[in-house]
Amino acid sequence: MSEPIRQVGVPISTRGERVRADLILLAVAVVWGSGFVGGRVAAAHMNPFVYNGARFLLGALTLLPIVGRRLRALSRTELWGGVAGGIVLLGASNLQQVGLQTTTAGKAGFITGLYVIFVPLMVAVMWRKLPPWPVWVASLMAAAGLFLLSGVVSLALAPGDAWVLAGAVLWAVHIVLMGVMVPKTDLLRLAVVQFAVCGFLSLGLGVVLDPDPFAGWDVAWWAVVYNGVLSAGLGMTLQMIGQRHAPMTDAAVILSMEAVFAALFGWLLLNESLATVQLIGCGLMLTGMLLAQVRAVRTAPT
């Protein structure tokens, strides 16, 4: 048997570990995609800081019974890594939610998904090592698919686009940060810390900045519960598990599939239509995802 390979941002991985990691990340994309339904409802009725604060605190509470007494063994790396992750989540989630108030959901989805390009750029700069060419091709195909899927007919900038773009950069930073942290930490302890930090800071900002911070709670409470337990508590924890054996660049391509599942759930639950060009976009994204994985899985040992 040949020696296992090491890729930027992940420990040595066998073929089986790599396939399992990819499937876990694909499951995360499904969970995050389904959460867009609740996120759209919350954006129309709730203060964005209160919404994100409540859902991330709920995500932390969801994990506490599982972590249990292990939280007492929290290391300094997990503490400060969780604080850093929580601050990045604070910025990414709230910039996206604020931007959604003054731009279209389709354009916001496309701009947010540009983290699929930002991640390999960050990896190239930070590690001074270019990802393999299939990753670049896959990333560009995913970005093109996002553009078609978003239904954007004009690239004229709306006021919220800059906020969403800044959020996309921070989502990319979070993927890179988790790629660095997960091999060194207990994932559940790291998740609890970063969810709690993001939740408390976000909720605090909402209470300070909004004279009526809890308006709309009676309409969108279910979105908080769904995205707190599933998108945050389950989805982001699985993201960290998957990134134990998947390179940051490949993880970004797979996670960008959340846009496809968001469109699918929007079609199923919100009666949103999918035009032919959007279906082509879905196909491009799927092809890009498969291209990013084929070379890595083939070259990994059994």
> pLDDT by residue (tens digit) across 47-98?
999 999 999 999 999 999 989 888 889 999 999 999 999 999 999 999 988 8
b (16+ CB within 10 A) / e for 188-215: bbbbbbbbbbbbbbbbebbeeeeeebee
Handedness of CA 189, 192, 198, 200 (dihedral sign): negative
Whether residue 31 is contained in a domain is answered as yes
The pLDDT of residue 5: 35
- Is residue 167 within 8 Å of residue 110, measured between CB atoms? no
Below-70 pLDDT ranges, the chain: 1-13, 103-107, 150-158, 270, 272, 292-302
Whether residue 7 is contained in a domain is answered as no
Give the closest residue to 269 by CA, choosing from 216, 226, 221: 226
Whether residue 230 is contained in a domain is answered as yes
Name beta bridge partners: 5: 13
Whether residue 124 is contained in a domain is answered as yes
The pLDDT of residue 45: 87
Give the closest residue to 105 by CA, choosing from 23, 201, 10, 38: 38
Whether residue 8 is contained in a domain is answered as no
Alpha-carbon distance of 230 to 7, in angstroms, equals 29
The number of C-alpha atoms within 13 Å of 174 and in the hemisphere containing its C-beta is 29
Domain count within the chain: 1
Alpha-carbon distance of 97 to 66, in angstroms, equals 29
Domain range for 131: 15-299
Give the closest residue to 176 by CA, choosing from 121, 135, 123: 123
Whether residue 284 is contained in a domain is answered as yes
The pLDDT of residue 205: 95
Whether residue 10 is contained in a domain is answered as no
Whether residue 106 is contained in a domain is answered as yes
The model's pTM:
0.83
